[in-house]
Amino acid sequence: MLESVELATRDQNVYRTLLLHPGWNIGDVQEYLGLPEEEVRAALDRLASMSLLRPGADAGRFVPTNPEIELKPVFERREAELDEQRAKLSRDRSTVAALAAEYAALRLQAGAPGLERLEGLDSVRIRLRELAQSATFEVRAFMPSGALSPGALEAARPLDEDTLARGVRMQTVHLDSVRNDHPTVEYATWFTAQGGQTRTVPSLPMRLILCDRSIAVIPVNREASQEGAFVIHLSSVVAALNDLFDLVWDRATPLGDVPVLDCEGPSDRDLAILKMLEEGCTDEGIARKLGVSIRTVRRLMADMLKRLNAQSRFQAGAEAVRLGWL
């Protein structure tokens, strides 16, 4: 079975020659291209193995076929294999993230090696400032809380400015909903001008701070950040959380850009909502994770039901599965 459709320049030239000069034999092609006979024969064998040439009525002559038709099954099989590889990669990353969370949960006890427990917001803020000031090359963050108040943004400015001025790379991922918040957009513009990078996604799994790829900070309770945070030094867990950040970052849209919407297919926000519905999230839970109001969630759901020509959320879910959205 053909595993590759790579064609050398020589093979392509032989194919084009026979396409332009039907009825030519090996000698004609050899003379026209100025190639040794063995190279022409090798090219003919390669093209024949790909079903791009078929024997002509006369011995020693070949008839070119339509590549789009002959190679369609090959491309379909390769695309299916790539889709499966992408799906497996996504499953593997999800498994790693889940295992990392379970691993951290089992170690969440006082005195556990490689783990700090921070009680209350004040201690968290102090520790985060220390980590930012000691970072040598990178600080990355998930910000799932939606738009920040102007006061919070201004309070963050001196530390961000100092960190960036030291040449530390800073990458921040916000929710898409902050695109409608003028203070946040204004701050992101300033942040980018200083050398920082800001992107957005429809939803984020949790608040996360990563420093120099060796330290991670996550909330004790992602639904109640005021309870405190854990500072993780365990290399395997930190590596998994960095992989999670990379996955989200690669799919995120720079804040200065407009997210590209596919009029035929689902947007990233649609997929996020469908996934949360599949997981049993309520409208309130979806609104919290997207950083929008419950009213906005219900409007988005109504728009999605209309696009899917569905009368209920259950029917919308079934239609989404049928269309391959889930």
- Cβ-contact 208, 142 below 8 angstroms: yes
The Cα–Cα gap between 203 and 255 comes to 15
Would you say residue 1 has pLDDT above 60?
no
The Cα–Cα gap between 239 and 121 comes to 25
Choose among 232, 229, 231: nearest CA to 120: 229
| Ramachandran region, residue 89 (left: φ > 0; alpha: ψ -120 to 50; beta: rest) | alpha
Choose among 75, 59, 79: nearest CA to 67: 75
- Cβ-contact 150, 178 below 8 angstroms: no
Supply the pTM of this predicted model.
0.50
Tokens representing residue 203 in the block? 């939803």
The Cα–Cα gap between 298 and 300 comes to 5
State the average pLDDT over residues 10-35.
Answer: 85
**Tens of pLDDT along 82-101?**
888 888 888 888 888 887 67
State the average pLDDT over residues 23-38.
Answer: 85
**11-15, 122-126, 180-184, 242-246 — which one is most confidently predicted on average?**
242-246
State the average pLDDT over residues 59-75.
Answer: 79
**Per-residue burial over 42-78, b = 16 or more CB atoms within 10 Å of its CB, e = otherwise:** bbbebbeebbbbeeeeeeebbebbeeeebbeebeeee
Checking 52-60 for CB contacts under 8 A at 24+ apart, the result is 52/15, 53/15, 53/18, 56/23, 58/23, 58/25, 60/25, 60/26
* Residues pairing with 254 in the sheet: 199
Tokens representing residue 21 in the block? 């000069």
Identify the pLDDT of residue 103: 54
The Cα–Cα gap between 326 and 320 comes to 6
Tell me what percent of the residues of the chain surpass a pLDDT of 70: 89
**Tens of pLDDT along 283-323?**
888 887 777 778 887 887 777 777 777 777 777 777 777 77
Identify the pLDDT of residue 125: 86
- Cβ-contact 18, 64 below 8 angstroms: yes
* Residues pairing with 170 in the sheet: 139
Full set of structural domains in the chain with CATH: 9-70 (1.10.10.10), 76-254 (3.30.870.10), 268-322 (1.10.10.10)
